[in-house]
Structure 1
Amino acid sequence: MSNIELNDKKIQILEVAEKLFSEKGFEGTSIRDISKIAKINVAMISYYFGSKDRLLESLIIYKTSDLKLKLENLLQENIEPLEKVNKLIEIYITRINCNKGIFRVLHFELNSKEREKSMTAFTELKKGNLKSVESIIKQGQSKGVFRKDVIIPLITPTIIGTFFHFHMNKPFFVELLNLNTEELYDNYIKTTLKKHIQQTIKALLVYEN
């Protein structure tokens, strides 16, 4: 499944599925809904993906495999540990911000027992990404830059959780911070919010002076 061959029709189906999953939820979207908007018949979607769960797995792989690659490449970069962590945060924020729809579905809708089987792909991906985060932090620990008592599995939820709290309360923050256009809102995420998260993670990782 991870090396799924993607032709234009499959990509079209995945893009429509992402849009509908993020608007109507996974449970609230049917293969028929996807078929109608993608203008591809139900039988063809079933032929390509089998089931809605398998379609979701393909969507996860399609949307997140480049994140895995970026983290693995970052691991190899010869830069200071803190700079590496800052880049890591930038990678996460950029990816989530570009794919808000699917990330919202993944993190908030699919943590139920029934979904567990179909979420294997996502779980494996999260484990792989955690390994990269772990390696980056351990590099910093071995250089004596990062604290030894860091709870590494909680670093990613701190990054993602802060982003999503901000995004889920968009109308509140738009009014509070005068982010009245999409451009202002988006810019705020890329600059101020990103910097705030970097400072938060730095405070967790670095020894106090």
Structure 2
Amino acid sequence: MSDPRLVLATHNDHKVGELRAILLAAGTVPGLLPDEVVGAARFTDVQPVEDGVTFEANALIKARALAAESGLPSVADDSGLAVDVLGGAPGIFSARWAGRHGDDRANLDLLLAQLGDIAPEHRRARFVCAAALVTPEGVEHVVRGELVGTLLTVPRGDGGFGYDPILQPEGYDRSCAELSPEEKNAISHRGQAFRALAPTIADVLRG
């Protein structure tokens, strides 16, 4: 097994797999092997307090903490769902919208209930992702990606996680949870952000 070269600041195994696949598929990080990209659990059980008020600020908080802990270049993302009719909420509170962090079903059910009487033409929303790279030497770079779509009235699909079952991307007749991993990564907010970040990661890893 190769030594880690890049650390992803998440303890979510789904996200580690998804982000690893996006970076490796980007092709702009030459020679990077799958087992050289690891999650935060390799180095720490502690998750920093995400007290930023933007996706970008929270991504940097997580990446800085893990770069200091691991001594390696660290990548973090902060992402969520922004609903137009809710003024951009849940936004940075997406993972704990129902009150308990990471309860995907409760978050989804609450949001659907809140939008129960909203007509289809007013259910526009977007997934937003800010991705940050921080090195132990202090290099910092942040990019942003968005996936625009419409919120469904009932969940559809078994793939993905979070709010994927209720967002139907523009130009598609399926929810994000009904897309294959390859289809989703090609258009997703994380895919956009991490592909944009990949050239900077490549520069850092080349030294």
The structure having more radius of gyration, on CA atoms, is 1
- The interval holding the TM-score normalised by the smaller chain is under 0.3
**TM-score of the two chains, using structure 2 as the length reference:** 0.25
| Between structures 1 and 2, the one with greater helix share | 1
**TM-score of the two chains, using structure 1 as the length reference:** 0.25
